[in-house]
Chains A and B, each alone.
Chain A
Amino acid sequence: MIVCIAVVGHQNNPLYIQSFTEADDALKLHHIVHCSLDVVDERVNNPKKSAPTLNETFLGLLYPTENYKVYGYLTNTKVKFIMVTTDLDVRDADVRNFFRRFHAAYVDAVSNPFHVPGKKITSRTFAERVSTIVKSFGLNSAG
Chain B
Amino acid sequence: MEEYPEELRTPPVALACLVGCPDVHALITGNLHSLQPPINTIALPDFSKISVISKAAKENPAAGSAKAVGGIVKRDWLSKHRTRVPAVVVALFSSDHVSGDPAQWLQVCNNLENIKATIQGRNIKLLVVVVTQSGSIDDTSEDRMISLRKRAEVDSKNLVIFVPDDPLELKQSLNRLGTACAELANAYYRDEGRRVKARLERKNFGSIDLHIRYCFKVAVYAEFRRDWLEALKMYEEAYHALREVVGISTRLPLVQSLVEVKSIAEQFHFKISTLLLHGGKVVEAITWFRRHISYYRRLNGAPEVIFLHWEWLSRQYLVFAQLLETCSVTVQNLTTTVSVPADKQTEWEFYPPYYYQLSAHYLKEKNSCLEFAISMSEDVGGIDGSVDSVVASVYVGQFARLLEHEGTYAMQALTDDEYVRYILAEGKRFQDSFEIIALLKRSFEAYNNLKATRMASYCGVQMAREYFVMGEFSNAKQVFENVASLYRQEGWVTLLWEVLGYLRDCSVGISSVKDFIEYSLEMAAMPIITNNDAPSFRDCCPAGPASLSQREKIHEEAFGVVTGESGIALSENNGLKVNGDCPLYLEIDLVSPLRAVLLASVAFHEQIVKPGARTMITISLRSQLPLNVEIDQLEVQFNQSECNFIITSDQKPHLAAISHVHPGRRVETAPTLELPTSKWLRLTYDIKPDQSGKLECIYVIARIGPNFTICCRAESPASMNDLPLWNFEDMTETIPTKDPGLAFSGQKAIQVEESEPQVDLKLDSSGPALVGESFILPVTVASKGHEIHSGELKINLVDTKGGGLLSPREVEPFLADNLHVELVGISGQERADHSEANIDNIQKIQPSFGLISVPFLNVGDSWSCKLKIKWNRPKPIMVYVSLGYHHSNEPSSQKVHVHKSLQIEGKTAVTISHHFMLPFRRDSLLLSNIKANHDSDHTPSLALNETSILIISAKNCSEVPLRLLSMSFDVEDDDSITIQPKEEKFREPILHVSGEDFKKVFAVIPKGNFSTLKTGAVSLKWQRDSGLREDFHSCSASSQVTKHRLPDVNVELPPLVISLKCPPHAIVGHPFTYSVTIQNQTELLQEIKYSLADSQSFVSSGPHDDSTFVLPKSEHVISYMLVPLGLGYQQLPKVTVTSVRYNAGFQPSTTSSTVFIFPSEPPFSDQ
* A contact residues vs B (CB 8 Å cutoff): 9, 11-15, 17, 19, 21-28, 30-32, 34-35, 37-39, 42-43, 48-53, 60-66, 69, 88, 90, 92, 115-116, 118-122
Check B539 for interface membership: any CB of A closer than 8 A: yes
* Shortest Cβ gap from A49 to chain B (Å): 6
Check B458 for interface membership: any CB of A closer than 8 A. Answer: yes
Contact A43 B537 (CB under 8 A): no
Among the stretches B121-129, B334-342, B947-955, B1148-1156, the one at the interface with A is B334-342
B1104 beta carbon closer than 8 Å to chain A: no
- Can you sample 17 A-B contacts with CB below 8 Å? A14-B491, A19-B536, A22-B535, A26-B494, A34-B454, A34-B457, A35-B457, A35-B458, A38-B454, A50-B339, A50-B341, A60-B340, A61-B342, A61-B343, A64-B349, A92-B342, A120-B728
Please report whether the interface of chain A is mostly helix, strand, loop or mixed according to DSSP: mixed
Bound complex: CA A25 to CA B365 (Å):
14
B348 contacts which chain A residues (CB < 8 A)? Answer: 39, 63
- Give the one of A15, A23, A35, A116 with max B CB within 10 A: A35
Q: In the docked arrangement, what's the CA distance between A92 and B593, Å?
A: 42
Distance A62 CA – B1145 CA, assembled complex (angstroms):
115
Q: What is the CB-to-nearest-CB distance from B540 to chain A, in angstroms, rounded to a whole number?
A: 4
Q: Are B354 and A63 in contact (CB under 8 A)?
A: yes
Instruction: Assess whether B494 is in contact with A30, with CB atoms less than 8 Å apart.
Output: yes
Residues of chain A within 8 A (CB-CB) of B361 are 66
Q: Does B490 contact A (CB under 8 A)?
A: yes
| Nearest A residue to B297, CB-CB | A67
Contact partners of A26 in chain B: CB under 8 A: 494, 534, 536-537, 540
B contact patch SS? helix
Give Cα distance in the complex from A62 to B349, angstroms: 10
**Contact for A21 among B447, B493, B536, CB less than 8 A:** B536
A64 / chain B contacts, CB cutoff of 8 Å:
290, 346, 349
Complex formed: what's the CA distance from A38 to B294 in Å?
25
CB under 8 Å from chain A, chain B span 427-453: 447, 452-453
Whether A63 contacts B491 by the Cβ 8 Å rule is no
Q: Answer yes or no: B455 CB below 8 A from chain A CBs.
A: yes
Closest chain A residue to B456, Cβ basis: A38
Known: A24-B538, A26-B537. A43 touches B729 (CB 8 A): no
B1083 contacts the other chain (CB 8 A): no
The answer to whether A92 and B538 touch across the interface, beta carbons within 8 angstroms, is: no
**CA distance in complex: A12, B347 (Å):** 19
Q: Which residues of B contact A90 (CB under 8 A)?
A: 343
The A/B interface has a contact count, at CB < 8 Å, of: 124
Please name all residues of chain B whose beta carbon is closer than 8 Å to the beta carbon of A62 when the two chains form the complex: 346
A42 to B535, CA, bound (A): 34
Residues of A within 8 A of B349 (CB): 63-64
CA gap between A7 and B857 in the complex, in Å: 76
B461 contacts A31, C-beta separation under 8 Å? yes
For the complex, what is the distance from the CA of A126 to the CA of B731, rounded to whole Å?
17
Bound Cα distance A112, B361 (Å): 42
**A12 contacts B490, C-beta separation under 8 Å:** yes
Interface residues of B (CB under 8 A from A): 290, 294, 335-336, 338-344, 346-349, 354, 358, 361, 447, 452-455, 457-458, 461, 487, 489-495, 498, 534-541, 728-731
Q: Does A39 lie within 8 Å of B347, measured CB to CB?
A: yes
CB distance from A122 to the nearest CB of B (A): 5
Q: Which residues of B contact A28 (CB under 8 A)?
A: 540
Report A57 CB to chain B, min CB distance, Å.
14
Given A49-B336, A50-B339, A120-B729, verify A34-B538 contact (CB < 8 Å).
no
B491 to A49, Cβ gap below 8 A?
Answer: no
In the assembly, what is the distance between CA of A89 and CA of B1014, in Å? 113
Verify B730–A122 contact, CB threshold 8 A: yes
Q: Which of B339, B487, B540 contacts A49 (CB 8 A)?
A: B339
Determine whether the beta carbon of A30 is less than 8 Å from that of B492: yes
Contact A31 B495 (CB under 8 A): yes
**CB distance B495 to A34 under 8 Å?**
yes
Partner of A50, one of B340, B489, B536, B539: B340
Give the residue of B457, B498, B730 whose beta carbon is less than 8 angstroms from that of A119: B730
CB pair B730 A92 closer than 8 Å: no
Contact A61 B730 (CB under 8 A): no
Please measure, in the bound complex, the distance between the C-alpha atom of A52 and the C-alpha atom of B1001, giving whole angstroms: 102
- Tell me the smallest distance from the CB of A23 to a CB of chain B, in Å: 7
Q: What's the least CB distance linking A34 to chain B, in Å?
A: 5
Given contacts A19-B536, A30-B495, could you give 16 more A-B pairs where the C-beta distance is less than 8 Å?
Answer: A9-B728, A13-B728, A22-B535, A24-B540, A26-B494, A26-B540, A27-B498, A35-B457, A37-B454, A38-B452, A38-B453, A49-B338, A61-B346, A69-B343, A90-B343, A121-B730
Report Cα–Cα, A42/B886, bound state, in Å: 66
Q: In the complex, what distance in Å separates the CA atom of A118 from the CA atom of B728? A: 7
**Chain A residues with CB below 8 A from B455, complex form:** 35, 38
Q: Which residues of B contact A65 (CB under 8 A)?
A: 358
Q: Which residues of B contact A32 (CB under 8 A)?
A: 458
Whose C-beta in chain A lies nearest to the C-beta of B535?
A24
Distance, CA A128 to CA B1058, complexed state (A)? 129
Q: Pick from B346, B461, B541: contact of A63, CB below 8 A.
A: B346
A115 vs B347: C-alpha distance when bound (angstroms): 36
Contacts of A22 in B (CB 8 A): 535-536
Question: Please, which residues of chain B bring their CB within 8 A of the CB of A21?
Answer: 536
Shortest CB-to-CB span from A97 to chain B, Å, is 15
A122 cross-chain contacts in B, Cβ below 8 A: 730
Beyond A27-B498, A49-B338, whether A11 also contacts B358 by CB under 8 A is: no
Residues of A within 8 A of B290 (CB): 64
Given contacts A52-B341, A65-B358, contact A27 B537 (CB under 8 A): yes
- Nearest neighbor of A30 in chain B, beta-carbon distance: B494
Query: Which of A9, A11, A27, A48 lies in contact with B494, CB distance below 8 A?
Result: A27
Chain A residues with Cβ under 8 A from B453's Cβ?
A: 38
Question: Is the CB–CB distance between A23 and B491 below 8 Å?
Answer: no
A5 → chain B closest CB, angstroms: 14
Provide the residues of chain A in CB contact with B339, threshold 8 Å.
49-53
B-side contacts of A51, CB under 8 Å? 339
